[in-house]
Amino acid sequence: FQLYGYCYQDSNDIPDTLTTITELGSPLEMIQLLQTSWEDRFRICLSLVRLLHYLAHSPLGSVTLLDFRPRQFVIVDGELKVTDLDDASIEESSCTSNSDCFMEFPARNFTLPCSVEGRCQSMNEKRNLYNAYRFFFTYLLPHSAPSSLRPLLDKIVNATGNRNKRGNAKYLALELSPSLSVNSEFTQKCVKSANTKYRRVPEAFIPDENYRCWPSYHHKGCLLSVFDVSEAIEICDSYSQCKAFVLTNQTTWTGRQLVFFKMASNHIMPDPDKITYVKVTD
């Protein structure tokens, strides 16, 4: 979380007062997140993975968030950031045997090895990872994910939810980060050959004729991201009410193009930044 400044004040009424000035973020609402596109949820999970990796290798050592819940986070420019560090700790639990390194959670328990130095190995990191798994990854990653990425996502989610050697922040960062590539498997899709024909109308836009779809980047219309025109055609063919679509010059954070899907093409207006495709009827 970006710290812009702080002020220390010692008064008779409130001694040892520290006021911090931080960037403004939006409260985290899980129900609202589940209604957003998978790309946006993927971005949030990726930013969380980067945070987990930083906490595990911070200049102070491995840091754990003892109160690791959604209310401790905000969203800033589409990425997840922690806001409350009151319950952060760098103390790794001391131990004399493995039984002293027992971690208990509502649905699962873990026993970590006790090191020769008398500290529970990676307990801070494991606590953060499992809390990220049960509060974030299980809800945000698999839900409506691209079919081509589901095997990888299942592997990632299972690694964080089990006592697994691969279940660490470095592994998550290495597995999840390559999916950022615009030409990665995530952004591409196996598109069936379409039988429907479309007429291409360059520099044109359909201002009305909206219908709602899910998930959409626009609450009053059907605005989705596509890899190319072929994917847009496949999406339009999958909606019975779709009779046309408009390619915009806007892209998502992964480079996918935003497309408006329309239920008619009666009124087409000129627009140099858009291309309209109209379904050809017999």
Catalytic positions, please?
67
Nearest to 206 by CA among 280, 276, 272: 276
Q: What is the DSSP letter of 155?
A: H
Q: How far is CA 120 from CA 61, 76, 89, 164, 253, in A?
A: 14, 34, 14, 16, 40
Nearest to 1 by CA among 90, 87, 77, 69: 77
Backbone angles phi, psi at 72, to 5 degrees: -85, 0
CA distance 180 to 218: 23
CB crowding 228-239: b at 16 or more within 10 Å, else e:
ebebbbbbbeee
Query: In this structure, how many other beta carbons lie within 10 angstroms of the beta carbon of residue 144?
Result: 11
Contact between 242 and 262 under an 8 Å Cβ cutoff? The reply is yes
CA distance 228 to 189: 9
